[in-house]
Amino acid sequence: MTEEKVIPKTNLIGVILQIASVWVLSDIGYYIFLPALGFNGGYNVHPVQITIYYLIWTIIAIFAFKDILKDKVVLEKRLGTYIPLVVGNIFIVIYVFYILPLLPTITWTPPWMPPSELLNATTWYFLPKSIEIFLQQILLLALVISFLDNQYKFKTTAIWCALLFGGSHLLLVFSGGFMYATVFTIIAVVASFIFTYLLLEVRNGFLYSYFLHWIFYAFVVVVTKLIFKV
């Protein structure tokens, strides 16, 4: 008696190429297309327009990977889901409207000019950033589900996600320079293992993965402003 071979529902290579396309094209659009339309200055200057931009890409991603995501219970309809959801959103509101405005102002001078608009983040910065993080989490979720569907073990899935998700942050070299891209790539590699675990092993893991991702950026802003305060 032979074991029946499990046929994966997804074409892993095809999914990876789709994810890479969404990620790269959204970056190209942000760094080239939007400035060509007059939206220079980034998240802090054009938060509403960039929020709409990333909402469009998020809708594209959800539609592109709907067949992969439909069998995954992202958020369960139970009390245990709403508690972290409410707490997480309360934290975001408190941070954006109360904590961030209290942080010291930084007057950047050479050679300490900020390599990224994140380090000059205003309250408005986190509006489009929240949508961008959601987009990245959707892409990461589609990736880990595809690996799982193709019978990859957790360790292998985590390593591949670290290479792909972490490697994608090398694109930051075009906006923040080599050192900035290197630091964020290393952090993204480490975070990939955590995200993979949350998305695959933890109930409502998408929720925790999203908020952890968001909190990281909030933490970077706090640390930067405290270190380089006037």
The pLDDT score that the predictor gives to residue 1 is 44
User: End-to-end distance of the chain based on CA atoms, in angstroms?
Assistant: 74
The pLDDT score that the predictor gives to residue 118 is 80
* pLDDT (tens digit per residue) in 150-207: 989 999 999 999 998 888 887 777 666 677 788 888 898 999 999 999 999 888 889 9
Q: What is the mean pLDDT of residues 214-219?
A: 94
Q: Which residue's structure tokens are 């952890």?
A: 212
Q: Is 70 helix (H, G, I), strand (E, B) or coil?
A: coil
pTM above the 0.85 mark?
yes
* pLDDT (tens digit per residue) in 111-149: 556 657 887 888 999 999 999 999 999 999 999 999 988
Checking phi first, is residue 204 left (phi over 0); if not, alpha (psi -120 to 50) or beta? left
Checking phi first, is residue 41 left (phi over 0); if not, alpha (psi -120 to 50) or beta? left
Q: Is 183 helix (H, G, I), strand (E, B) or coil?
A: helix
Q: Is 119 helix (H, G, I), strand (E, B) or coil?
A: helix
Cis amide bond preceding 128, omega within 30 = no
What is the domain partition of the chain in residue ranges? 12-227
* pLDDT (tens digit per residue) in 27-48: 899 989 999 999 988 899 999 9
Q: Which residue's structure tokens are 């990620």?
A: 23
Q: Mean pLDDT of all residues in the chain?
A: 86
Measured from the Cβ of residue 104, the count of other Cβ atoms closer than 10 Å reads: 10
Q: What is the mean pLDDT of residues 59-70?
A: 91
